[in-house]
Amino acid sequence: MRRTLFESLTQPPLTEAPPAADDAALAELAAGVERAARRRLGRSLAIRQVDAGSCNGCELEIHALNNAFYDLERFGLRFVASPRHADVLLVSGPVTRNMREALERTYRATPDPKWVVAVGHCAADGGIFAGSYAVVGGVNAVVPVDLHIGGCPPTPSALLKGLIALLEGAR
């Protein structure tokens, strides 16, 4: 363990820092989120993720935001365990009829001001699952949506980009 920890201290971080030359797009996003998040909410924006019927693909990429390459928390954006602690609901999936009530209750449990971000093609309009007896449709059919982030699933970079758009739009 010592060797691993020591290396972590002595080697440069994997986190794709804003000025990194090899991934200019991500660097631009990183700076954008930091500025906007600070202006709007000091240095803190709490996100509660809700899977309302997804295939789990979106969750995998949302998880990736926490890895060392994307390191979401450096922007003050962090995932919280309860909707009562959240500013943003990040909702994935077509909303299934079986999850509709749980999503509504989660929304009601989130204090104002709050934003809802619908993640993935399915969350926009039900996607490939639209029309099923078991699916209500997109997230907008159940709770008001402030922003859609497309993709199947959206890449972590696309998710970051979407969070900036939210912050800019909510100004």
Site for other proteins in 32-51 (CB under 8 A): 49-51
What's the angle, vertex CA 121, arms to CA 79 and CA 89, rounded to 5?
A: 25
Pick from 61, 86, 139, 163 the residue near other proteins by CB under 8 A.
61
For 140, other C-beta atoms within 10 Å of its C-beta total: 16
Return d(Cα 133, Cα 166) in angstroms, integer: 32
Smallest gap, in angstroms, from Cβ of residue 141 to other proteins? 14
Smallest gap, in angstroms, from Cβ of residue 81 to other proteins? 4
Tell whether residue 59 is a contact of other proteins (CB under 8 A).
yes
Site for other proteins in 1-20 (CB under 8 A): 1, 3-5, 14
Tell whether residue 128 is a contact of other proteins (CB under 8 A).
yes
Tell whether residue 162 is a contact of other proteins (CB under 8 A).
no
Number of residues near other proteins (by CB under 8 A): 49
Which residues contact residue 82 at a Cβ distance below 8 angstroms, ignoring those fewer than 6 apart? Answer: 48, 109
Return d(Cα 15, Cα 25) in angstroms, integer: 14
Site for other proteins in 79-98 (CB under 8 A): 79, 81-83, 93-94, 96-98
Tell whether residue 72 is a contact of other proteins (CB under 8 A).
no
Q: Which residues of the chain form contacts with other proteins (CB under 8 A)?
A: 1, 3-5, 14, 49-64, 66-69, 79, 81-83, 93-94, 96-102, 106, 128-129, 131-135, 152-153, 155
